[in-house]
Structure 1
Amino acid sequence: MKKNTFEDYQEVIPEEVDRREFTDREDIINRLYKWALGIEDLRSKSLLFVSPRRYGKTAILTRLYNKLFWEQDKVAPFFFKVKAQKYTMKDFAIEYALTFYKQYIGFQLKDPSVITEDLSIDDLVKIAKEKDLEYVAKRILAFKKISSNESWIRIWSVAQSAPNKICFDANKRVAVILDEFQCLDELVYIDEAKTLLDNSITPSYHSVCTDIRAPMLVSGSLVTIVTRKVMSGPLRGRFGKIKLGLLDFDDALALVFKLSEKYNLPVTFETAKLIVEISGRNPFYINSAFASSMQNKDLSTIKGVEEVYKFEVTNEEGMIYEFWDKHFKRNLRLLNKDPPDNFGLTKQIIFYILKYQDKKVSYEDIARKFGIGVPYALEKLEDLMEMDLVEESSYGFVYG
């Protein structure tokens, strides 16, 4: 099979980031690509891929999918990201299965239109039969029958195991790629009125994630929550872990110059370094300086860079402001979970940890600083981890 270059293959599923902006992410894509190729020889196990929000995980996973679709023909990629909407369990199971069958058939035929067009189950059965994929047609027909007559528990079980059954039927291989894994337990309901969340979806993957013919690559942005879901409980011991970090200084600097060219906004070497320093090497914060809605931006002067970031942080139209506003609103319950005689303690702890971004802060440090007991200090740090503001390490907690 002719291999495309890293830049010229067609998008089968949309990529979130302009390929010209990719800096220091080729290594992680190639690492995950090798993981996927290892599935052919049954050498790869399921992986958890984590980082805080806006580090670019989805962009990496969508690009990985497209690369796998075009550059090899041994391992079928299956990418699924739950939409930001409420589902019934049955509707979710049908969408999950239909997405898999579309992507699998599209991959086998190297025909993106099967994936991008709005095809029904009957359409897929017809295509599979016409293209000598009888084993797929049989599985789709069986799922159609079950989805009409069985309970939602049975429907979900069959949908979830669809990749595994295809692998078993025809000795095939599938890379199951699930983005924002923790959201599966936040948007799917067991009742038609959509009032009762089904919190058992992520644990239910324990029955399929150990299948070395169809291992999983699951990602999550709420690092603490998704790590606990995947690395403990029913899924414990079934996943390896990869963490996506910040850009290296040189790569962050390279991204600044790429964006400068893309947006036609000149920078000097000094202002480029300042953007890297202010952004903390976070690609989202770097991009915000160039994509900011602030009028008459000037990134060629120190003052101009400072004014852009001041706008981004303080103005309601700022991308950074909007991101953190949504984040804190989503976590108001935890932010305000302080006793009346010490209201605002959580915010004080956040600012304290922010002062030591490059150092680890222990719960004993927090207890001493704020005159609270060690158990309560641990409770507050647990709240901050749930908000994804700090991460736990072997030696303490660090701003995330």
Structure 2
Amino acid sequence: MQKSPVTGILPVEEMLAYEEFTDRVEILRELDMWVKNIQKMTSPSTAIIAPRRMGKTVLLDRLVNTVFFKPEYKVAPFYFRMKREETTLREFLLLYATTFFRQYIAYCHQDPFLFQNRQIQLKSLINYKSDNKSVLIAKDMIKAFAERYETNEFNSTRNQWDDFICVPEQLASYSGTRVAVIIDEFQDMKFYVHDIEKKFLDQVIEKRRNNPYLEGTDLTATYDRQSQSRKAPMLVSGSAVTLVFRTVMGGPLGGRFDFSYLKPLSIPDGATLLRHLIEIYLPDSETDSENALYASTQVGGHPYYLYCLAMSKCSNKSYNTRENIDRIIRYEIEQGKIYGFWQTHFDDNRRIINGDSAIDEQTGRKIIYYFTKYNNKPVEIKEIADKLNVPKKVVEEKIEKLYQADLVYRSAARFYTFNDICLMRFIKFVYEKDMEDVEKIDLSQQNLFNTLKGKFLEMVVQVTMMKFNNGSIDGRFFGKNGVIELPLFQYVDSKTVKGAKTPQYQIDVYGKVTGRERVWICECKYTKKKMGISQVKKIEEAAKVLKIQAQEEGVPVPEVIIWLVSTGGFTEEVMEYIKDRQDILHSDHGGIDGIFRYYGGNYSIPIFNES
């Protein structure tokens, strides 16, 4: 087997410093398992849906760099990024085919340099020395493709494209080395590839200048068969949420894709990212954990906005007080990178957003303005209509325009805004000017931050538990000797339990272990006071009720592990009570801090409440 000529190189050059990549543990784990299960033919085609700048391309980069170095999976990642550049179908076919064959051979030989070497042509791949069975089969296919490509006329390019769509599946079937077909910005395959001769391409480019919405040859529809493959399923992504959703939900691809939504970072992980960015790019600056959490709350954990805060050109910027953080955020929304990003988006979609004939411009602006109060909520169309004294249909038509411009999404026959407080603040800033007779909308996140302070420990425990992955950790973090094996949780959330004849109990954090009838329930005390025996007894009662509820519902009764987490520590009575209990774990401030840091945190958990 040929060795990589370069050591320490990744197959995909990532856009971030390695340590900038923060969180995304759960979805990376899910996608890694998706790739692994292709060998067992149990992975359906999947679409990752994410608003712009949410980090989906970075996620795919990291996924490919991870699974590439797992030859035991016997699944070759074929990673293709769509570019927004006009090209002919014939040129695109050659690029697509060459990329596939190059990356397939690179995986089989674990050669990351070959994977990313875009200078390699088909002839070089045909001459690539190998005795690998999968590669030998691939080389035969390359020869067949090259001969047909060189002898075919322009008129048969579409037929060759349609035939090549099936090649990854055929190669996976013949060789036993399966394929994960990963395409970033999948929806752009509708717009930038044109089934024309190259001499006419300049005319298309000129048309694009006059019509940004110009469509090309819709190649997405040609994946109707490929999207059902289990030997070479597809993983597609797109930042134009409305468009990619329509692409994979409707038409020839309807019903063929599962979905995974990429959300903002959790607030604790957003704070971790900001501290990473400040440490990397602003070594002379710093922010403590509380201010980092405040900043993360104010931008909703959105990774791009946190990057904007760290890289802001705001004068005299610092991150040592909430007032300074508010000033940087305001600068970014009103004249910085966040402003530029959304202003460009609105300019690009102005024809859609302002394409009203039934209402005057001022009413349209007011509808958009009032829409901002529904951040991460369903848009109450009737409420807006009543406020403006206009028919509901008028508001619906305007919100439909925002949907087409990818500013809201639709679910269960309702429109919802994205969880994007900075977008709402941008709209408020732009549309509030020169507007009379409107109710002022408060988009501050102060109440949210106050709520977060009360629930922060539970949030940290929940986020951290989701990162457990059947690994081991020093038992001292959990008040035990030796090493503790931590499970992989199927899901983690809060939970209410109640039997037919029992009181109701609220469990702070509940985790269901994957593949076992075992659960963890956590009692969190987030003060400097020690946890007393009454709280321990309470969580034990909750454990009993949990089992009673399972019996009454006719489901298996789980084994219950209790995890006590108290930033103030524990009373002597509690320590004596639990010292020989194998079913009770306990972590004080140092313990949960250590676990949080072990799983990626880079700050100490602050204690907001003294009492």
Q: How does the TM-score come out when normalised to structure 1?
A: 0.91
From 333, 341, 365, the counterpart of 1:313: 333
Structure 2: gaps (5+ residues): 1-6, 205-213, 419-611
Q: What are the within-5 Å matches in structure 2 for residues 152-231 of structure 1? A: 152-192=157-197, 193-194=200-201, 195=204, 197-231=215-249
Task: Please give the secondary structure, in 2, of the residue aligned with 1:382.
Answer: helix
For the residues of structure 1 that align with 2:243 and 2:130, how far apart are their CA atoms?
A: 43
Task: Please give the secondary structure, in 2, of the residue aligned with 1:323.
Answer: helix
Shift in alpha-carbon separation, 1:9–1:62, aligned structure 2, 3 A: farther
Which range moved further: 326-335 or 49-58?
A: 326-335
Note the alpha carbon deviations across 1:15-69, whole angstroms, 9 max, x for none: 2233312332121111100011000001110001111011110011010001010
Structure-2 residue corresponding to 1:248 = 266
For the residues of structure 1 that align with 2:222 and 2:362, how far apart are their CA atoms?
A: 39
Tell me: higher relative CO, structure 1 or 2? Use CA pairs within 8 A at least 6 residues apart.
1
Task: Please give the secondary structure, in 2, of the residue aligned with 1:127.
Answer: coil
For the residues of structure 2 that align with 1:397 and 1:41, how far apart are their CA atoms?
A: 38
For the residues of structure 2 that align with 1:266 and 1:75, how far apart are their CA atoms?
A: 43
Note the alpha carbon deviations across 1:178-217, whole angstroms, 9 max, x for none: 1111111121112232338434211111021111000000
Structure-2 residue corresponding to 1:138 = 140
Task: Please give the secondary structure, in 2, of the residue aligned with 1:48.
Answer: strand
Contact preservation (8 Å) 1:49, 1:244? yes
Task: Please give the secondary structure, in 1, of the residue aligned with 2:32.
Answer: helix
1:273 to partner: Cα distance: 2.9
Contact preservation (8 Å) 1:222, 1:386? no
For the residues of structure 2 that align with 1:220 and 1:346, how far apart are their CA atoms?
A: 29
Q: Which runs of 4+ in 1 moved over 4 A?
A: 128-132
Which amino acid is 1:88 matched to?
T
For the residues of structure 2 that align with 1:307 and 1:18, how far apart are their CA atoms?
A: 27
Shift in alpha-carbon separation, 1:296–1:204, aligned structure 2, 3 A: same
Shift in alpha-carbon separation, 1:250–1:96, aligned structure 2, 3 A: same
Shift in alpha-carbon separation, 1:322–1:159, aligned structure 2, 3 A: farther
For the residues of structure 2 that align with 1:89 and 1:79, how far apart are their CA atoms?
A: 19
For the residues of structure 2 that align with 1:293 and 1:230, how far apart are their CA atoms?
A: 40
Contact preservation (8 Å) 1:334, 1:383? yes
Shift in alpha-carbon separation, 1:144–1:129, aligned structure 2, 3 A: farther
Structure-2 residue corresponding to 1:236 = 254
Which amino acid is 1:306 matched to?
D
Contact preservation (8 Å) 1:97, 1:162? no
Contact preservation (8 Å) 2:191, 2:218? no
For the residues of structure 1 that align with 2:168 and 2:64, how far apart are their CA atoms?
A: 16
Which amino acid is 2:196 matched to?
D
1:128 to partner: Cα distance: 5.5
Answer 1 or 2: which has greater strand percent.
2
Contact preservation (8 Å) 1:190, 1:197? no
Please state if 1:70 is matched with 2:75: no
For the residues of structure 2 that align with 1:278 and 1:347, how far apart are their CA atoms?
A: 25
1:130 to partner: Cα distance: 6.6
Please state if 1:126 is matched with 2:132: no
Which range moved further: 292-301 or 326-335?
A: 292-301
Q: How does the TM-score come out when normalised to structure 2?
A: 0.61
For the residues of structure 1 that align with 2:298 and 2:271, how far apart are their CA atoms?
A: 12
For the residues of structure 2 that align with 1:257 and 1:297, how far apart are their CA atoms?
A: 15
Shift in alpha-carbon separation, 1:228–1:340, aligned structure 2, 3 A: closer
Note the alpha carbon deviations across 1:331-352, whole angstroms, 9 max, x for none: 0101221238511444332321
Contact preservation (8 Å) 2:71, 2:110? no
Structure-2 residue corresponding to 1:3 = none
Shift in alpha-carbon separation, 1:219–1:344, aligned structure 2, 3 A: farther
Answer 1 or 2: which has greater helix percent.
1
Contact preservation (8 Å) 1:57, 1:219? yes
1:125 to partner: Cα distance: 0.6
For the residues of structure 1 that align with 2:231 and 2:122, how far apart are their CA atoms?
A: 25
Task: Please give the secondary structure, in 1, of the residue aligned with 2:396.
Answer: helix
Count of paired positions? 391
Contact preservation (8 Å) 2:71, 2:108? no
Contact preservation (8 Å) 1:10, 1:66? no
Please state if 1:333 is matched with 2:338: no
Shift in alpha-carbon separation, 1:50–1:346, aligned structure 2, 3 A: farther
Structure-1 residue corresponding to 2:207 = none
Note the alpha carbon deviations across 1:234-290, whole angstroms, 9 max, x for none: 111111111011222222222222223223221134432331122121111111110
For the residues of structure 2 that align with 1:375 and 1:298, how far apart are their CA atoms?
A: 47
Structure-1 residue corresponding to 2:90 = 90
Contact preservation (8 Å) 1:298, 1:304? yes
Which range moved further: 63-72 or 261-270?
A: 261-270
Identity among equivalent pairs (%): 33
